[in-house]
Amino acid sequence: MKKLALATLPLLLSTGLALAQTPKEIALAGLDAVFVNPNPERVKELFSPNYIQHNPMFPNGPETVIGFATNPPPGFFYEIGNVIAEGDLVAVHFRVVGFGPKPMVGVDILRIADGQIVEHWDVLQEEVTETVSGNPMFTPASK
């Protein structure tokens, strides 16, 4: 099992089947099941059959995320940074390798209802390592 970069994740990830209660826990469990420790069966539990996708490259429905968890690209790595939760919305700052030709940094925004992920928005950009400020675009949660 891959090590999750989020040291403060309030889930028991030893089995990959942690019980999630709050919107934040549900969102993190869903991202874990798709990207960190791929588990298509867990994805089916955590993503609504009526999942709404706002990324223009993917259709509505959970089939795309189930497919990704079934067969992630070689060398794929998803790392979680800051997590913000308010009400039924959760925003997760992340860094991903293997989704494009270069590492990307982005934010996933997930809406949670009735214990499932029901809606998703995201923004992505290529990671820039030499910034004018000298500050990185991404800092892992464990730091």
**Tens digits of per-residue pLDDT, 93-126?**
999 999 888 999 999 999 999 999 999 999 999 9
**Gyration radius of the chain's alpha carbons:** 14
| Cα three-residue angle 20-117-89, rounded to 5 degrees | 90
Q: Where are the domains of the chain?
A: 23-126
Q: What fold is seen in the domain 23-126?
A: Nuclear Transport Factor 2; Chain: A, (3.10.450)
Query: Which DSSP letter does residue 4 get?
Result: P
Instruction: For residue 12, name the pLDDT band (cuts at 50, 70, 90).
Output: very low
Q: Cα separation of 8 and 28, whole Å? A: 11
What's the whole-number mean pLDDT along residues 62-82?
Answer: 95
